[in-house]
Amino acid sequence: MARVRALGRRKGSIIMDNILCFGDIELNISNLILSTETSKINLRRRECELLDFLFLRKGMISPKETIIEKLWSFDSKASANHVEVYISFLRKKLSNINSKVTIDTIRGAGYELKYILYISFNRQYPCRFF
């Protein structure tokens, strides 16, 4: 229980009834639903597990080897290609629901979950905040 409370204190994530929030998206772990204010999409179990893993490590780089170890198992036949495929699935689904959350590839290191907020004070000069 202490671990759940500690996770809830972290910046950007709220854990309630198996719902994780980050940026403009909500991940319902129980129902495998990823949603924004305007739309939602169903995830497969492995996609949900991968996004949950990235949520809990937001702001940190997650190497492919660590993802394989945590989501599959170290002795499974999963390869780095499996991770790349599921990251691709998640990126498409995030794009389909018009989310500002992205999964960035850090070359030679792994993946990082980011929330990019665009605020425009003047239409000619948009600002980008990380």
Q: What is the pLDDT of residues 1-13, one digit of tens each?
A: 455 555 555 545 4
The DSSP result for 28-55, as a single string, is ETTTTEEE-SS-EEE--HHHHHHHHHHH
Query: Can you tell me the mean pLDDT for 43-59?
Result: 92
Indicate whether 16 pLDDT > 70: no
Indicate whether 15 pLDDT > 70: no
Number of domains in the chain: 1
What residues pair up with 40 in beta bridges, in sequence order? 35
pLDDT value of position 79: 84
Confidence grade of residue 47 (pLDDT, cut at 50, 70, 90): very high
- Which domain, by its residues, includes 71? 2-129
Q: Are strands 19-22 and 15-16 parallel, antiparallel or unpaired?
A: antiparallel
CATH code of 70's domain? 1.10.10.10
